[in-house]
Amino acid sequence: MAAFSRREFYEQLVQGCVVPTALQGLEQVWVLLLVCLGCRLLWRMGLPPAIKHLLTVAGGFFCLHHFFGLQMVWVVLLSLLCYLVLFLCRHSQQRGVLLSVTVLIYLLMGEMHMVDTVSWHKMRGAQMIVAMKAVSLGFDVDRGVVRSVPSPVEFMGYVYFVGTVIFGPWISFSSYLQAVNGRKLTFSWLRRVGRSLVLCTLCLLASTCVSPYLFPYFIPIYGDRLLRQWLRAYENTSSFHFSNYFVGFLSEVTAVLSGAGFSEDKDHVHWDLSVSRPLNVEIPRSMVDVVTSWNLPMSRWMHTYVFKNALKLGTFHAIIVTYAASALLHGLSFHLAAVLLSLGFITYVEHGKYPHKDKV
């Protein structure tokens, strides 16, 4: 490409990368988007709650099979195991802790290569969502946020909610129940879906077609060998960042399209689900901003169900436990553990320096 003029480069980029990438991305997710929209329309028909839960289970199973084939069995096994523990411990006041231990053992068994590595890694994202939902539900029942242990069809509907089963994000059990109640189809809902879809597409194109050629094609910076190495490292980092933003905005699309991700203010419904805040990550005021803005629902889950429960061990240990839980959910690896451990120390220092920043 070095022999191309700038105009020729842009023409080749559009024809050879931008258009094919956008079309391939749409080809990969159009079925999921269609199922999400179908469930949203069905929930507006006033069906009995049990039928709605069964429909979302069916939609979730269909999408899992569409994306993962028979490898979805590992997600199904985890969900069945979690409900079995929740049911057997329905009279206990430690359901959240027991579910956490169950998830911990299950994930460790998979990470220790007791399951086929390729299959396990492919299912990691979906399993992470199931694990987070099960643990949060256990603690919510313990705290009285959820009045009683849900029925099997309610639990499975929550776990396999079509808007979050593939790409996330994590939503609470109460948010799921609000979603299946079926809010009105409004212009603000459609606008939110369209906004997230546009941002999702832009992030996909930035990750695939812009970041690899950032220097010097888009930003004309040249330098010696050392500088070029740093620029190349930044290109790789930028590509990774935008791929994460792509998944974040795509999860906004699927969640909102299926009826989740809103807040209510009196009689007004605000479709305000936000998964990632790229500007806070790229231009942060603190490391805490980076950690929380990378994935807002996961950060909220970590803060509510891990950090707060571990505070009895002390602030430092609570922060380390939180980042250890994050490392396990994302998959055990030395590099990831080292990065998260470093983030834990930095967050602890910032927590001590700025006590008002209490969200990890």
Residue with tokens 């169950």: 102
DSSP state of 111: I
Q: What is the DSSP secondary-structure string of 209-254? A: IIGGGIIIIIS-----HHHHHHHHHHHHHHHHHHHHHHHHHHHHHH
Q: What is the structure's pLDDT at 223?
A: 66
Name the active-site residue from 53, 241, 330, 351. Answer: 330
**Is 268 annotated as catalytic?**
no
Residues of the chain with pLDDT below 50 are: 1, 355-356, 358-359
Decide: 292 and 301 in contact? Cβ < 8 Å. Answer: no
Evaluate if pTM is beyond 0.75. yes
Tokens, residue 104: 């911990």
Per this entry, what is the length of the chain? 360
> Does residue 99 contact residue 85 with C-beta atoms inside 8 Å?
yes
For residue 1, what pLDDT is reported?
Answer: 45
